[in-house]
Structure 1
Amino acid sequence: MKSARSAKPSISAAALAALLLAGGAVSCGTEEAPAMSPAAAVAEAAKNTEDISSLRYRMKGEIPQQGHVEAEASLRTKPSMAMSMQMSALDQGPEGTVEIRLVDKAMYIGGGPEMAKEMDGKSWMKFDLSALGADKEMNQLGAAGTAEKNPAAETALLTGAEDVERVGTEKVDGVQTTRYSGTVTLDEFRDSLKDEDRATRERREKSLDQYEKMGVDEITMDMWVDGEDRTKQFRVRGKADGGPLDLTITFLDVNEPVKVTAPPAGEVADLAEMMRESGA
């Protein structure tokens, strides 16, 4: 794409993967109460996610149709929504590295020098959802839906599993943890929500969106819980329409300050303006 006025904007596969999978975090109960069953510990974990207002995490694994990926992200849900993620699709070479920022309800996708070659020197593309009138369309890609919820809710999926078990104790990044594991279908998870209040039910059902988009029907999840009753790491595995899903997310910190700023205006191509100028 050679001209910001006449070019047809596009998003790399790696960017879409990052939009769809902007990670997750959760708090979780351990064996502080010896009599607590694995299922009860997981249920307690889901409740603890409500207090997480910001988090930083690392993501590594395999995403259907995208191959092997690595990413690090920060997200804040209060007092306002903000997100920053740097992601590399390792099988796609230089074009597979992208950065995503969500600031003031606008999504920015940065492709660095590779994008600048195709965008007349602009290394960032801005998606202002309200200006584009494309809130629903972008939500179908996972952008708005993923960014506008606390991904801490992801591990609530394990509350729907009937085979949750305590696997043992392991160290993750030097931290002693207790590991839990279980398998759940999306239908089983939905069924497990029937006794929850409406707000909790709607919040947890959002966790299903990204898996349904990938065509995943059943998920195997492992959770590593530290001594402070917080999940240090979790892993999700499943078979999707486009190949295997095997993603591990490690939590670096929660409820710490997160600041995200928009890219310099001179480096940004505004998709809404480009579309207006081209009459699209």
Structure 2
Amino acid sequence: MHVSIMRAAAVAAASCVLAGGLSACDAGRDAAGKEDRRTPVQVLRAASAAMAKAGSAAFTLDIRGPLDSRRTARGVLDWSGRVAMDVTFTSPETPSRVLRVDSALYLGGDDNEAATHGGRHWMRLAGQPVASGAAAMLLGPWVDQAHPSSVLDVAASAGTPRRAGEEKAAGTDTVHYRCTAPVAALVAATRWLSARQRAQALEDYGKQGVSEVTLDFWLNGRDEVVRQVQTVEDGRGAFTTTLTYSELGRHDDVRVPSPSDVYTLEDLAEEVDALPADASGQEGG
């Protein structure tokens, strides 16, 4: 009798190890207070499915680096099969608004700026990859890692997830999960990057000496991500990117601006060329 009990316990323990670690089989509670015997890997896979089903959300963004550097933004994301986002930056040193729909990126200005461009509010960067050039300086790599299911899939398949505890996030009861994963796995899973852009991203991380990323997720009782934090460290210190989601499934309406409200870099160059010679180079005084 005792042998049978011990054998059953051994089998159960072995099953837990195979499913995602012995500690993962300790029963906890989900954000709704119900007993949850799933492993962290199973929970993150369920969260990936929940976020894929939602397809869109409102969000706030907070990027912090060493020496108190910080950028903040808010907007909406649509990951329901296309790339779409409408971002308003709240940092004073960046443009007030950025719009991306598929491969097109638009930089938005206010009415005063539009008055200098024939009343047009949006400058289109045609075919400009978000992970390079001017777009990278404006948005940074978070844009191409903002698809929540991509990051959750990496955490579940290539990371070492663990349950960190029950916490409040954005005023919501959540369960916090944390893991570390190879940067290469995160870049490889990014759904909005081309092969060339992935190679460039890996090269950039390598130059910074970054090989690992820490991923934190706060999940509500429906396995939806309330908050997601990515942390990398190089010789200068830690860089954190925090995305807080709300209004899931309600923002699949991001549209390109009207053509009559758009100008291009070529239009801008023509405007400069049309200026009088003394006005285009005059600095004043």
What is aligned with 1:179? 176
What is aligned with 2:230? 236
What is aligned with 2:147? 151
Once structures 1 and 2 are overlaid, which stretch shifts more, 71-80 or 176-185? 71-80
User: Relative CO higher for 1 or 2, CA cutoff 8 Å, sep ≥ 6?
Assistant: 1
Against the structure 1 CA distance between its residues 154 and 73, is the aligned structure 2 distance closer, same or farther, given a 3 Å change threshold?
A: farther
Q: Given the alignment, which residue of 60, 63, 74 partners 2:62?
A: 60
Once structures 1 and 2 are overlaid, which stretch shifts more, 223-232 or 117-126? 117-126
How does the TM-score come out when normalised to structure 2? 0.62
Gaps of 5+ in 1: 1-28, 194-200
Gaps of 5+ in 2: 1-28, 274-285
Structure number with bigger Rg: 2
Inter-partner Cα distance in structure 2 for 1:204 and 1:267 = 30
Q: Given the alignment, which residue of 243, 246, 249 partners 2:243?
A: 249
What is aligned with 1:102? 100
Q: How does 1:55-134 map to 2 (within 5 A)?
A: 55-63=57-65, 67-78=69-80, 81-89=83-91, 93=92, 95-103=93-101, 105-112=103-110, 123-129=121-127
Conserved 8 A contact 1:82-1:104: yes
Against the structure 1 CA distance between its residues 38 and 86, is the aligned structure 2 distance closer, same or farther, given a 3 Å change threshold?
A: same
How large is the RMSD of aligned CA atoms in angstroms?
4.2
Against the structure 1 CA distance between its residues 203 and 265, is the aligned structure 2 distance closer, same or farther, given a 3 Å change threshold?
A: closer
Q: Cα offset for 1:60?
A: 1.5
Task: Name the aligned partner's letter for residue 147 of structure 2.
Answer: P
Flag as ranges the 4+ runs of structure 1 deviating above 6 A: 117-121, 143-150, 276-279
Helix, strand or coil for the counterpart of 1:43?
helix
Helix, strand or coil for the counterpart of 1:96?
coil
Once structures 1 and 2 are overlaid, which stretch shifts more, 260-269 or 44-53? 260-269
Inter-partner Cα distance in structure 2 for 1:53 and 1:277 = 40
Against the structure 1 CA distance between its residues 232 and 217, is the aligned structure 2 distance closer, same or farther, given a 3 Å change threshold?
A: same
How does the TM-score come out when normalised to structure 1? 0.63
Q: Cα offset for 1:251?
A: 0.7
Against the structure 1 CA distance between its residues 167 and 150, is the aligned structure 2 distance closer, same or farther, given a 3 Å change threshold?
A: closer
Inter-partner Cα distance in structure 1 for 2:67 and 2:247 = 30
Inter-partner Cα distance in structure 1 for 2:178 and 2:144 = 28
Against the structure 1 CA distance between its residues 84 and 183, is the aligned structure 2 distance closer, same or farther, given a 3 Å change threshold?
A: same
What is aligned with 2:53? 51
Helix, strand or coil for the counterpart of 1:36?
coil
